Amino acid sequence: MSPEQNSILKVSKLVKRFGGFHALDGLSFHVVPGEILGLVGPNGSGKTTAINVISGLYAPDGGEVVFDGASSGGVASHKLVHRGINRTFQVPKPFLSLTVRENIQVALAYGGATGTPPSIAELLEEYRLKEVADRPAADLNSAQQKMLDLTRALATRPRLLLLDELAAGLNPAELDWIAGRIKALAATGMAIIVVEHLMGFIEQITDRVIVLNAGKEIFEGTLATAVREPQVIEVFLGGEHAH
């Protein structure tokens, strides 16, 4: 495992409250460039909230987020995008009345991608959107909308990519294919955080997992060790079964 000093993202004692409820309750973890980190935990444990705070949708109520050496908690999303953070959404959020191509064009024009921006033709090809490129995003099925979310994120050339249940709802062939794509992205040095319920998928692609329960990490290490940890088993079996 790479040393913590090399981390591109470091989250310390992060707190996010909704009313009196602590959705994140002192969450700490880090991720290094090129690493695929799994974020797992039962429903409602705060995975999406963590992604929302890291991507600037919510300001933290406590603790610290440091991206690339600079504090990033509470910074507006579009600025974080320009710094190199991007994400997909658990429920994809494309610009429905715009065409697939236009969806990506917005991110290419405004994403502030550093270096050469990715080519739109390649993105469409690689994420299987070429045939629907000139159709409105509203015409896409849910798997395609997820891929569009992903290509919009990639068009901004992120160095940290947050994937919120990207694989949910994909068929086994698509799962294998997207697993390969995610690994290829990490191989370019991109740090990737993957939230997923499918343990097989998590096992296939992650280097390390953080197990979240009630807004706190209760385990950090490989998935193989996690499943032997009594506390982890308790959280999953006591709450909801892992698939």
Ligand X SMILES: Nc1ncnc2c1ncn2[C@@H]1O[C@H](COP(=O)(O)OP(=O)(O)O)[C@@H](O)[C@H]1O
Q: From the list ligand X, another protein, Mg ion, none, which binds 18 (C-beta under 5 to 8 Å, kind-based)?
A: ligand X
Question: If binding is defined by CB under 8 A, does position 146 make contact with another protein?
Answer: no
Question: If binding is defined by CB under 6 A, does position 239 make contact with ligand X?
Answer: no
Question: If binding is defined by CB under 8 A, does position 97 make contact with another protein?
Answer: yes
Smallest distance, Å, CB 78 to another protein?
5
| Dist. CA 182–CA 167, nearest whole Å | 11
Q: Which of 18, 93, 131, 184 binds ligand X (CB under 6 A)?
A: 18
CB 122 within 8 A of CB 134: no
| Dist. CA 155–CA 86, nearest whole Å | 10
Q: From the list Mg ion, ligand X, another protein, none, which binds 237 (C-beta under 5 to 8 Å, kind-based)?
A: none
CB 40 within 8 A of CB 212: yes
Side chain identity at residue 87, one-letter code:
R
Tell me the C-alpha to C-alpha distance, in Å, between residue 1 and each of 23, 159, 228.
29, 19, 20
Nearer to ligand X among residue 117 and residue 239 (C-beta): 239
Q: From the list another protein, Mg ion, ligand X, none, which binds 2 (C-beta under 5 to 8 Å, kind-based)?
A: none
Question: If binding is defined by CB under 8 A, does position 243 make contact with another protein?
Answer: no
Counting other chains too, the contacts that 199-208 makes at CB distance below 8 Å and 24 or more residues apart are 199/40, 199/223, 199/227, 199/242, 199/243, 201/167, 201/175, 202/38, 202/40, 204/179, 205/36, 205/38, 205/179, 206/36, 206/37, 206/38, 207/1, 207/35, 207/36, 207/37, 208/1, 208/35, 208/37, 208/38
Nearer to another protein among residue 28 and residue 99 (C-beta): 99
Question: Please, where are the H alpha helices in 18-168?
Answer: 47-54, 77-83, 100-110, 120-126, 142-154
Q: Which of 7, 48, 55, 145 binds Mg ion (CB under 5 A)?
A: 48
Q: From the list another protein, Mg ion, ligand X, none, which binds 78 (C-beta under 5 to 8 Å, kind-based)?
A: another protein
Nearer to Mg ion among residue 35 and residue 164 (C-beta): 164
Question: If binding is defined by CB under 5 A, does position 49 make contact with Mg ion?
Answer: no
For ligand X, the binding residues in 39-68 under the rule CB under 6 A are 41, 43-49
| Dist. CA 115–CA 67, nearest whole Å | 19
Question: If binding is defined by CB under 8 A, does position 82 make contact with another protein?
Answer: yes
Question: If binding is defined by CB under 6 A, does position 185 make contact with ligand X?
Answer: no
The footprint of ligand X (CB under 6 A) covers 18, 23, 41, 43-49
Q: Which residues bind another protein (CB under 8 A)?
A: 55-57, 76-78, 81-82, 86-87, 89, 93-98, 102-103, 105-107, 109-112, 149, 152-153, 155-156
